[in-house]
Chain A
Amino acid sequence: MTNENTALNTKINSGRLNSHEDLNALRQQIIDKHDPTKLEVLVCHGTGCIANGSMEVSETFKKICETSGIDVKIKPNIKTTGCQGFCSRGPLVLINPQGIFYQRVKPKDVEEIIQKTIINNEPVERLLYKDPKTGEPIKTENEIPFYNLQERIVLHNIGKIDPTDINDKIAAGGYQALAKALTTMTPKDVVTEITKSGLRGRGGAGFPTGRKWQGALKAVDKKGGPVYVVVNGDEGDPGAFMDCAIMEGDPHAVLEGLILGAYALGSNNGYLYIRAEYPLAVKHLEMAMAQARELGLLGENILNSGFSFDARINRGAGAFVCGESTALFTSIEGKAGTPRPKYVRSVEEGLWGRPTVLNNVETWANVPLIIDKGADWYSKLGVLNNTGTKVFCLVGKVNNVGLVEVPMGTPLSKIVEDIGGGVPNGKPFKAVQTGGPSGGCIPYKLKDLAVDFDSLTKAGAMMGSGAMIVMDDRDCVVDVALYFLRFLEEESCGKCIPCRLGLSRMKEILDTFSHGKGSEKDIDDLISLAKAIQDGALCALGTSAPNPCLTTIKFFKEEYLAHINEQRCPAGVCKDLITYSIDPDACTGCGSCARHCPQNCISGEKKKVHVIDTQNCIRCGICMDTCKFDAVQVN
């Protein structure tokens, strides 16, 4: 980054590190240079905040600080960070050391922040987060329920450090776990520690990481090296962005985890498979790898320990199926990304037919924490057989959209209602879709369900990568099931028949429901076909594809029946089954709906009640969105 850090870095960088002591000395050097009383402005440069204009905000901070002639002593250090998590409130600005949290900051607000907070140490009240219940402004990040109800371990550094600067990471304790492992632990110790921690794969299925690593070691014993370690950063679930946030905000955590894994398994080559749609993640990881190489933390003879390991980035070309392990390997090998049958596990025969350990971004990011703080510490987090924390992306009809990290086993209601702040219209949520298109729909009545691998699977959903899409009473379950099926049909590789033809046919049946047609026998057929796909498809994309449809039928059958038997969509979504009308008591005749109607089918005189011509209405719902008086109703 082009702030003062860079100038500082050039002075600090000491060249290659040759021991744990060298690393500690560098760390001390960085910490000593840092004045803890000096103000720090942390501007969130997560993808969401950037889209909301946070780059202009940080630029304005820099410009004003440079030109306004602020006293050098109080001139703040301006730092751009990864995703701070509270995405619905972006752009976010955090002022340290006080921890003052500003939300929805616009470039024009910067001057006031500098004047009041930086120079006079008083908060700008209108930019503070307000408690939705009391309306009272909350000054610091730690007092905001969205943050203080979380347990941020993997996300600990994200939003606090500059991801493009390795020194910032080293000051925060980065690469300590690696140095510890290389100097005091044998590779076997590392595997034992990971196994003891109970860490399970964060990519979705929750396979115990330690067991996976042991499996690979056994395979290496049998057929010899080489063995590969691979990061799965091909996150593609609609609504999921936790891997993106980790790679963008703390790339060194992923890298350190990967190097530790490589050390444990005796691997000298690794791959980071990242989807090309995450250009910032690719950029930050490339920078991280270059900086780590320069310091001797990656490459030949790491920290002079005799252990060499290097990795390269492979960018995925946008196929969802390439998040599936065998399709990912096929893609890295340079072939079309289609899965291959995996009756021989990838720890035995993975990339290039060699033993391979593929773990998700979040899993790798957990590894340094476990090595640093110990398996005992880690296994105390979460619940039995589901240890540690999980990062979720809370999206959909929820007040606090953002990145959330909680211990495994946290009740769903705590995540959605306490941390997420509930549904905007104040009613209870209708359902939560966990695990993206492969997961399931959990209804409100299961709100006390513990969110962990086993409980979710038991409820017919799955952890998946961690997307949580919250739905309210205006979301139709038939429409939701259709949405995910459409997505998966688009993303099917087409190799096996149950997935290629089956998903289209499921969609065809569901589509008849959304038109108010079909019969109860069709629901039975749909379930039977869905089970055939679950049993018959070649890879996990296909076998898990029917989950949203099956869980919505299981928990919301009455809504399906309303479509079929009464030609009624209770949520008012399925276009063929609804009509819009204007409530004459609520309409003020402002004319906004008529102006916005693309069909010009709303008429009425100024300040008089308007009427919708239902014959010409295409039920787009724009009138409803535009009406400020809630006068447009859906029947």
Chain B
Amino acid sequence: MIKFNINDIEVEVEPGCTVLEAARQYGIEIPTLCYHEAVAPSGACRLCMVELKDGDWSKLVASCIYPAAEGINVYTETERVQNVRNWIFQMLLAQCPASVEIKTLAKKYGVTSSRFSIENPDEECMVCGLCTRACEEIVGLSAISMVDRGVYKKVGAPFMQPTDVCVACGCCVTICPTGAMRSYIDSVRSVRSVTLTPLAL
């Protein structure tokens, strides 16, 4: 077992556990969007940042991927952590203004408005890639993946064309942290090539 401290509370977890998993076991809240127990963590949304401190030394790490280690001191609500969180929420509010989920989470952490301008008022997707990881790791199809890079990065099927690789299982819709996949999935799934004939009664 590994013993360490979160917000000066001693916690004890199995080896191989991450800091986030440990915190959740002990009911310590750390916000996340791109994290889901069912897939491997990727550390993309950076909302789960926590501060490690050791005397004068300190460093911010993503708790969803940082392995729990003996004796470390983790703090979840320091000024630096809150600064990162605050700016990420502000940027997400401007980027995905249509997402109720993001608004709700941001409000919980005291962010209700953004200093940034809104480009697309209908946007819900934050491009965290959780849907594509679910499609790859859980469904095993990789019908969708990340397309392009940088500010142009988006989620889509190859060539942004509807694909019949997608079986419309809805896993991506269920797992999507911002609700974006609800409306997006119809552009991924192609029309079924086999027409089902209704049973003759």
- State the A residues within 8 Å of B (CB): 319, 336, 338, 341, 343-344, 489-498, 500-502, 504-505, 508, 525, 528-529, 531-533, 535-538
B151, A492: Cβ atoms closer than 8 Å: yes
C-alpha spacing A341/B46, complex, angstroms: 11
Partner pick for A531 among B83, B95, B129, CB 8 A cutoff: B83
C-alpha spacing A602/B90, complex, angstroms: 47
Partner pick for B150 among A343, A492, A508, A529, CB 8 A cutoff: A492
Tell me whether chain A's interface is mostly helix, strand or loop, or mixed: helix
C-alpha spacing A338/B149, complex, angstroms: 9
Min CB gap B178→A, angstroms: 12
Measured between beta carbons, the chain A residues less than 8 angstroms from B192 are none
A494, B150: Cβ atoms closer than 8 Å: yes
A538, B149: Cβ atoms closer than 8 Å: no
- Chain B 46-64: CB-based contact to A (< 8 A → 1; otherwise 0): 1001000000000011100
Min CB gap A253→B, angstroms: 34
A343, B67: Cβ atoms closer than 8 Å: yes
C-alpha spacing A533/B46, complex, angstroms: 10
C-alpha spacing A255/B117, complex, angstroms: 51
Measured between beta carbons, the chain B residues less than 8 angstroms from A535 are 49, 60, 80, 83-84
Ordered by A's residue number, 28 sampled pairs between the chains whose C-beta atoms are within 8 Å are A319-B149, A336-B149, A343-B61, A489-B150, A489-B151, A492-B150, A493-B150, A494-B127, A494-B146, A494-B151, A494-B152, A494-B153, A495-B153, A497-B44, A497-B88, A497-B92, A498-B46, A498-B88, A501-B92, A502-B87, A505-B91, A508-B116, A529-B87, A531-B80, A532-B83, A532-B87, A535-B80, A536-B87
B84, A536: Cβ atoms closer than 8 Å: yes
Partner pick for A536 among B42, B49, B149, CB 8 A cutoff: B49
Partner pick for A495 among B44, B60, B61, CB 8 A cutoff: B44
Further pairs besides A501-B95, A505-B91, A528-B87: 11, Cβ < 8 Å: A341-B42, A343-B66, A492-B149, A495-B44, A496-B43, A501-B92, A531-B83, A535-B83, A536-B46, A536-B84, A538-B44
A496, B44: Cβ atoms closer than 8 Å: yes
A537, B150: Cβ atoms closer than 8 Å: no
Min CB gap A160→B, angstroms: 41
Partner pick for B91 among A492, A501, A525, CB 8 A cutoff: A501
Measured between beta carbons, the chain A residues less than 8 angstroms from B163 are none
Per the 8 Å Cβ criterion, residues 76-126 of B in contact with A are 80, 83-84, 86-88, 91-92, 95, 115-117, 126
Min CB gap A626→B, angstroms: 37
Min CB gap A534→B, angstroms: 9
* B49 nearest in chain A by CB position: A536
- State the B residues within 8 Å of A (CB): 42-46, 49, 60-62, 65-67, 80, 83-84, 86-88, 91-92, 95, 115-117, 126-129, 146, 148-153
Measured between beta carbons, the chain A residues less than 8 angstroms from B83 are 528, 531-532, 535
Min CB gap B4→A, angstroms: 14
Q: Counting chain A CB atoms within 10 Å of each CB, which of B43, B91, B150 scores highest?
A: B150
Q: Which 5 A-B pairs have the closest CB atoms?
A: A494-B153, A532-B87, A536-B84, A501-B91, A341-B43
B149, A494: Cβ atoms closer than 8 Å: yes
C-alpha spacing A492/B153, complex, angstroms: 10
Measured between beta carbons, the chain B residues less than 8 angstroms from A493 are 149-150, 153
C-alpha spacing A577/B168, complex, angstroms: 55
Min CB gap A502→B, angstroms: 7
Min CB gap B128→A, angstroms: 8
Partner pick for A497 among B45, B65, B67, CB 8 A cutoff: B45
Using known A-B contacts A496-B43, A497-B46, A536-B88, determine if residue A336 contacts B146 with beta carbons closer than 8 Å. Answer: yes
B43, A504: Cβ atoms closer than 8 Å: no
* A504 nearest in chain B by CB position: B151
Measured between beta carbons, the chain A residues less than 8 angstroms from B87 are 498, 502, 528-529, 532-533, 536
Measured between beta carbons, the chain B residues less than 8 angstroms from A490 are 150
C-alpha spacing A618/B129, complex, angstroms: 43
C-alpha spacing A538/B148, complex, angstroms: 18
A496, B46: Cβ atoms closer than 8 Å: yes
C-alpha spacing A423/B87, complex, angstroms: 40
C-alpha spacing A502/B85, complex, angstroms: 12
Partner pick for B126 among A338, A497, A508, CB 8 A cutoff: A497
Measured between beta carbons, the chain B residues less than 8 angstroms from A533 are 87
B150, A491: Cβ atoms closer than 8 Å: yes
Measured between beta carbons, the chain B residues less than 8 angstroms from A504 are 151
Measured between beta carbons, the chain B residues less than 8 angstroms from A498 are 46, 84, 87-88
Measured between beta carbons, the chain B residues less than 8 angstroms from A492 are 149-151
Measured between beta carbons, the chain A residues less than 8 angstroms from B149 are 319, 336, 338, 492-494
Measured between beta carbons, the chain B residues less than 8 angstroms from A494 are 127, 146, 148-153
B116, A505: Cβ atoms closer than 8 Å: yes
* B60 nearest in chain A by CB position: A535
C-alpha spacing A500/B91, complex, angstroms: 10
Measured between beta carbons, the chain A residues less than 8 angstroms from B61 are 343
Measured between beta carbons, the chain B residues less than 8 angstroms from A508 are 116-117
Measured between beta carbons, the chain A residues less than 8 angstroms from B66 are 343
Using known A-B contacts A490-B150, A525-B115, A535-B83, determine if residue A497 contacts B91 with beta carbons closer than 8 Å. Answer: yes
Measured between beta carbons, the chain B residues less than 8 angstroms from A495 are 42, 44, 129, 153
Min CB gap B66→A, angstroms: 5
Partner pick for A341 among B62, B128, B129, B146, CB 8 A cutoff: B62
Q: Counting chain B CB atoms within 10 Å of each CB, which of A336, A532, A535 scores highest?
A: A532
Min CB gap A543→B, angstroms: 10
Measured between beta carbons, the chain B residues less than 8 angstroms from A537 are 46
C-alpha spacing A536/B49, complex, angstroms: 7
C-alpha spacing A492/B83, complex, angstroms: 22
A502, B151: Cβ atoms closer than 8 Å: no
Min CB gap B82→A, angstroms: 10
C-alpha spacing A343/B62, complex, angstroms: 9
Min CB gap B54→A, angstroms: 15
Min CB gap A523→B, angstroms: 13
C-alpha spacing A536/B129, complex, angstroms: 18
Measured between beta carbons, the chain B residues less than 8 angstroms from A496 are 43-46
C-alpha spacing A537/B117, complex, angstroms: 22
Measured between beta carbons, the chain A residues less than 8 angstroms from B126 are 497
* A494 nearest in chain B by CB position: B153
C-alpha spacing A338/B46, complex, angstroms: 16
Min CB gap B127→A, angstroms: 7
* B41 nearest in chain A by CB position: A341
C-alpha spacing A32/B92, complex, angstroms: 71
* B88 nearest in chain A by CB position: A497
C-alpha spacing A505/B150, complex, angstroms: 13
Min CB gap A390→B, angstroms: 27
C-alpha spacing A504/B153, complex, angstroms: 13
Measured between beta carbons, the chain A residues less than 8 angstroms from B95 are 501
